[in-house]
Structure 1
């Protein structure tokens, strides 16, 4: 049945449930500490939501739209950050030039 699910069910990359190539990988269920980066990205997401700039649905859609290589390479909160950045660029909250300048200012 799993092989049929792999071939016959169209699915986005993030929907890995029942896909045989992922079924043998153990899921890490141990609690872990959030990094400062994780907390900062979550805080930004909360602020964007509180100010009605970006919804959780937009965040999810952005994550689901990531190319497969990026999705698999990035951490959970890196995916969030990429999704937020793309959405805010699309909405015109800031421009690509402003983003590039801000990136230069990071120590």
Structure 2
């Protein structure tokens, strides 16, 4: 990579900060939350409410501090939520209500 080019915070490949950390290659079990988020993304895609490209762009748009704090599927749900709000599929008031009822 060009040393002059600024790397985006989500672009971790080859970053020296992460080069010395061992990579966990063991299979990871999915939680119920992980499965639900993946299922939601698949339903939204089937209904043409969200594309995989929108998911990726939304994840890449997460501010750096949040990006590194959130787990893999929490990044997904953040991107999904932002996309649904942007498209008017849900409103902020509906989201707040859903979160309160938890």
TM class, shorter-chain normalised?
over 0.9
Structure 1 residue runs without a partner (length 5+) = none
Structure 2 Cα separation of the partners of residues 43 and 12 of structure 1: 28
Which of 57, 61, 86 is the aligned partner of 1:65? 61
Residue 99 of structure 2 aligns with which residue?
103
Q: Which runs of 4+ in 1 moved over 2 A?
A: none
State TM-score, norm by structure 2: 0.94
Number of residue-to-residue matches in the alignment = 102
Structure 2 Cα separation of the partners of residues 6 and 36 of structure 1: 41
Query: 1:31 is paired with a residue of what secondary structure?
Result: coil
Query: 1:104 is paired with a residue of what secondary structure?
Result: helix
Query: 1:8 is paired with a residue of what secondary structure?
Result: coil
- Contact 1:63 1:79 survives alignment (8 Å): yes
RMSD: 1.2
Higher RCO by CA contacts (8 Å cutoff, separation 6 or greater): 2
Residue 88 of structure 1 aligns with which residue?
84
**Matching of residues 1-107 of structure 1 within 5 Å:** 5=1, 7-106=3-102
Structure 2 residue runs without a partner (length 5+) = none
State TM-score, norm by structure 1: 0.90
Closer, same or farther: CA 42–80 of 1 in aligned 2, 3 Å:
same
